[in-house]
Amino acid sequence: MTIHFPFQNTYSALPANFFARVAPTPVAAPRLIKLNRPLAVQLGLDPDLLSTADGAEILAGKRLPDGADPIAMAYAGHQFGHFVPQLGDGRAILLGEVIDKDGVRRDIQLKGSGPTPFSRRGDGRAALGPVLREYIVSEAMFALGIPTTRSLAAVVTGEPVMRETVLPGAVLTRVAASHIRVGTFQFFAARGDTDGVRALADHVIARHYPELKDAAQPYHALLAGVVGRQAALVARWLLVGFIHGVMNTDNSSIAGETIDYGPCAFLDAYNPAQVFSSIDEMGRYAYANQPRIALWNLTRLAECLLPLFDSEQEKAIEQAQVILGEFPEKFTAAYQAGLRAKVGLFTARDGDEALIQDLLDAMAKNAADFTLTFRHLGDAASGDAADVRAQFTDPAAFDEWAGRWRARLALESETPAERKAAMGAVNPAFIPRNHRIEAVIQAAVNSDDYAPFEELLTVLTKPFEDRPQFAAYADPPLPEQMVTQTFCGT
């Protein structure tokens, strides 16, 4: 059976040092466990054909679809602040690019598809648990309206992988605007390859920032564009309590999407210093550190682009510093606008930032659940504060703040019903709680049971809707359900 992918590949037409040509390694007995049918249709693919045994073989890398030009992309990166000059796709292979129904070019990549020249003695495979985690969280982020890579399919390979123990192997089919990272630019800059940096920058402008092509200073404009997208993205992360967990420069997308869901997690109780990643021992990528780290990563991108800015390095540095200097204002504007919406404010007034910070401080002091506090705040806006008060170990802390909040609300003309509806549209009821993800993984790995996985996805596809039949999914974990560490593990 022929399964057609309408590939129109551009990255594989770049110079040979941008990638390695390598085919996926066939697996023993691929079995499809999940196909994202709406996304398949969006990509111009036939979900019925992809659901067949032949489709599973393609999605597992056992055979290639027509028109595929498989490559592993080269990149470098700062990992926890330490520069590694060559990383690259060690367990992922880009099959090609398609133009989706909206005219947007998308990469289709297999993650866990076998070793590549960049594997550094790794097996190039992925375990089932991390594949399910990335599928769940990436699709939850999409439903929350946050720019993200997507998950097209998850397949078990019929082969074990050895980590700390023997685990089922799996492959994730990932879809992205592209897989170009800050680390991709670093790969060429570290080698003094200015022509490579320029070719990559031209490719990125054409693909992601076409409006900049005729700018007077296109490379300056490119840096500004990436700064703007990253500022907005990280603000969105903080507004839903998301912690990426491993914000290395090789996990920082030039397209402004969330990419590489390794030890990612969502806050339960609000704690700005929260870290879940087992490898982030110093808290470099803690929840509240994410804006600072985003700017650090963008500074590394700016360093790569300096030769394209000006032949005099001092002038180039000055120009880059001006552009990087826009990040704090762009982030703060996006973050504060989002916070005002979360607490039901339709306008901006002096004092709003301090008022909202007082709420966050009270939440941190009282171990208030981040998601439920904001969700139930919508009820409090219309008079019913019982559920939001219950989030605080000392409800009086909320009462004190709420008096000032209601006085501020009284300065606006919206009705309580209008305010509650607006707050309900930005404050989710359901997030991929860490303990729920862990339960899904355990059922799949230990019992080959994917019913919990399917149900969790069903809940997370409509995060802003109150659905009584799924009310338990909104609950924070019981003490014995707490997940305190997450792992890369792929």
Q: Please identify every residue annotated as catalytic.
A: 250
DSSP per position, 219-278: HHHHHHHHHHHHHHHHHHHHHTTEE-S---GGG-BTTS-B---SS-EE-SB--TT---BT
Show Cβ contacts of residue 465 under 8 Å, excluding neighbours closer than 6 positions. 429
Q: Is 486 exposed, middle or buried (0-12, 13-18, 19+ CB in 10 A)?
A: buried
C-beta separation of 155 from 30 below 8 A: yes
The C-alpha atoms of residue 148 and residue 145 are separated, in whole angstroms, by: 9
DSSP per position, 28-68: S--EEEEE-HHHHHHTT--HHHHTSHHHHHHHTTSSPPBT-
C-beta separation of 155 from 139 below 8 A: no
SS3 at position 96: strand
DSSP per position, 118-180: T-TT---BEEHHHHHHHHHHHHHHHHTT--B-EEEEEEEEEEEEESSSEEEEEEEEEEES---
